[in-house]
Amino acid sequence: MESASKTVVRKENPNNSKKIDLSVPMSETYRKQGKDLFARAYDLANAIDNQKDYEIWLYFKSTLKTPGATTKGHDIYGNVFEGPNFATQDYLGLSTNMETREIAAKVTKEFGIHSGGAALAFGTHPYYLDFQREISEFWGVKSSIIYSAGWMAGYGIVKGMIRPWDHIIIDRLAHNCLSEGARAATQNIYVTEHLNVKEMVEVMKKIREEDNENGILIVTESLFSMDSDTPDLVYLQKESKKYDAFLLIDMAHDLGAIGEKGLGALETQNFSDYSNVILMGSGSKTLSTNIGFVGCNDERVIEYLRYFSPPYMFSNVVAPPQCAAALNNLRILRSDKGVQLRKQVMDNAVYLRTKLQAKGYEVLGIPSPIVILILGDEVFCRIVVRLMLDNNVIVNGIEFPIVAKGKARLRLQLQATHTREHLNTFLEKLESCSAKALTLMDDVESFINYRKSAPKL
């Protein structure tokens, strides 16, 4: 079966007076200059207005129910949808776990909702201290530091460790929290091709030829969420040691979700030497609540970060009910139930990937709870998402500048609680919605008429 046969490239259509125009991407409106700070913001609104006319500006959808394997929500135009949900990050499906929700409610009642301070200033509480100990045990590292969100952890670790004279080598697709941390910390940043660990090693070598005094931090992820792929971490760690470099691995997407024990790519790659490694994770994908954490086998590094990592030092500790929920979900994912949930979500991923590939779709990467389905053209992708929502299948589209131009895609985030019926409904609706989207994308008139008939809130 041809792999890329179902991706779409837009053709020029001279008969259309008003085309759906995505020619001004948001990123271009970002660098506007001028002394009027308010006026500089208006270009963004103009850039997206055209898309709002067609109701294909599909960000900021809201949930109306718990975002489980099925849910109910609405878009910014008031269109309501309810059905199988592939747009929520909750790989083990623990956001619907009643035990955890009851624990959060009990903690709210008995302990309260406020941490009341940064960690250094009397903000920590029993759930925080237990989480801190248990996440270290789970990772198998000596010490950890807890943040209120994964973004804060990623930014905080880079900014906390790196000084302007140090060097950072970073994968081109590393998450924004890491690249922002890098930019805030030093100007010596070397961006390497995605997953190209050999290039990272070459850069390390070159840096060391010229600078044998300062630090080098390699920054990558153990599961990239836009492509569902993983670098060779064992190779990178071994090589980085040769050049006295250190390795930061963002495990936001695979920690807890992949591997028999849930240790993600560290487990699937038999990663064993932590001597120059710093690990980072986020609760927002697998622990089903917001919390961030960084672990290291050298407890002195974590102690240092407690003073020099600004999002830790200068921000209130995560609130007790949220921390208690994360803690209970951590205990679940470490239990036999966790093993079962990881198996279920991986079975779902393999099933969906196999079915999509058999139908001729291009599916990226390796089997993981994230299934990346390439659709190609940006307008096509948006109309497919629009139609899927209209047909009560909840999905997210991803496009340039987050991914390459012409490589728009659906990012399907699977949950252990998805059933075969949910996956089959997705497959069935994808076929009919893609076929309809093909006819609508070059015929703006009929698309407008189609939207006019959509029922509203």
Cα 314 from chain centroid (whole Å) = 25
Instruction: Name the one range near ligand PLP by CB under 6 A: 49-57, 146-154, 197-205, 425-433.
Output: 146-154
Q: How far apart are the first and last CA of the chain?
A: 42
Nearer Cβ to ligand PLP (219/437): 219
What single-letter amino acid sits at 405? Answer: K
Residue pair 291/147 in contact by the 8 Å Cβ criterion: yes
CB of 92 to ligand PLP, least distance (A): 15
Based on the shown chain and the rule CB under 6 A, indicate whether residue 282 belongs to the binding site for ligand PLP: yes
Based on the shown chain and the rule CB under 6 A, indicate whether residue 284 belongs to the binding site for ligand PLP: yes
Based on the shown chain and the rule CB under 6 A, indicate whether residue 367 belongs to the binding site for ligand PLP: no
Q: Is 345 helix (H, G, I), strand (E, B) or coil?
A: helix
Residue 131 CA to residue 256 CA, distance in Å, equals 14
Nearer Cβ to ligand PLP (181/320): 181
Based on the shown chain and the rule CB under 6 A, indicate whether residue 252 belongs to the binding site for ligand PLP: yes
Site for ligand PLP in 14-43 (CB under 6 A): none
Nearer Cβ to ligand PLP (70/225): 225
Based on the shown chain and the rule CB under 6 A, indicate whether residue 292 belongs to the binding site for ligand PLP: yes
Based on the shown chain and the rule CB under 6 A, indicate whether residue 250 belongs to the binding site for ligand PLP: yes
Of 67, 73, 83, 154, which lies in the binding site for ligand PLP, with binding defined by CB under 6 A?
154
What single-letter amino acid sits at 199? Answer: E
Of 151, 155, 190, 312, which lies in the binding site for ligand PLP, with binding defined by CB under 6 A?
151
Nearest to 350 by CA among 340, 334, 365, 337: 365
Contact code string over 308-347 relative to ligand PLP, x by CB under 6 A: ----------------------------------------
What single-letter amino acid sits at 381? Answer: C
Nearer Cβ to ligand PLP (150/321): 150
What Cα–Cα distance (Å) separates residue 405 from each residue in 31, 32, 48, 381? Answer: 19, 22, 17, 12
Based on the shown chain and the rule CB under 6 A, indicate whether residue 85 belongs to the binding site for ligand PLP: no
Based on the shown chain and the rule CB under 6 A, indicate whether residue 221 belongs to the binding site for ligand PLP: yes
Nearer Cβ to ligand PLP (143/220): 220
Q: Quick one: CA dihedral 361, 366, 371, 373, positive or negative?
A: negative
Placement of tokens 């070598």 in the chain? 205
Using CA atoms of 62, 64, 67, 72 in order, give the dihedral in degrees to the nearest 10: -100
Beta strands in 194-348 (DSSP E): 216-221, 246-250, 277-282, 292-296
Based on the shown chain and the rule CB under 6 A, indicate whether residue 149 belongs to the binding site for ligand PLP: yes
What's phi and psi for 408, nearest 5 deg?
Answer: -60, 150
Residue 431 CA to residue 410 CA, distance in Å, equals 13
Instruction: Name the one range near ligand PLP by CB under 6 A: 245-253, 377-385, 393-401, 428-436.
Output: 245-253
Neighbours of 72 (CB within 10 A): 17
Nearer Cβ to ligand PLP (222/276): 222
Instruction: Name the one range near ligand PLP by CB under 6 A: 52-60, 199-207, 248-256, 364-372.
Output: 248-256
CB of 74 to ligand PLP, least distance (A): 22
Nearer Cβ to ligand PLP (88/434): 88
Residue pair 440/447 in contact by the 8 Å Cβ criterion: yes
Closest-CB residue for ligand PLP? 150
| 245 backbone φψ class: left, alpha, beta (φ>0; ψ -120 to 50) | beta
DSSP summary character for residue 403: S
CB of 283 to ligand PLP, least distance (A): 6
Of 95, 132, 186, 290, which lies in the binding site for ligand PLP, with binding defined by CB under 6 A?
290
Cα 273 from chain centroid (whole Å) = 26
Contact code string over 166-205 relative to ligand PLP, x by CB under 6 A: ---------x-x----------------------------
Neighbours of 36 (CB within 10 A): 9
Strand order in the sheet with 292-296: 143-147, 292-296, 277-282, 246-250, 216-221, 167-171, 189-192
CB of 290 to ligand PLP, least distance (A): 6
Based on the shown chain and the rule CB under 6 A, indicate whether residue 150 belongs to the binding site for ligand PLP: yes
Binding site for ligand PLP (CB under 6 A): 149-151, 154, 175, 177, 221, 225, 250, 252-253, 282, 284, 290, 292
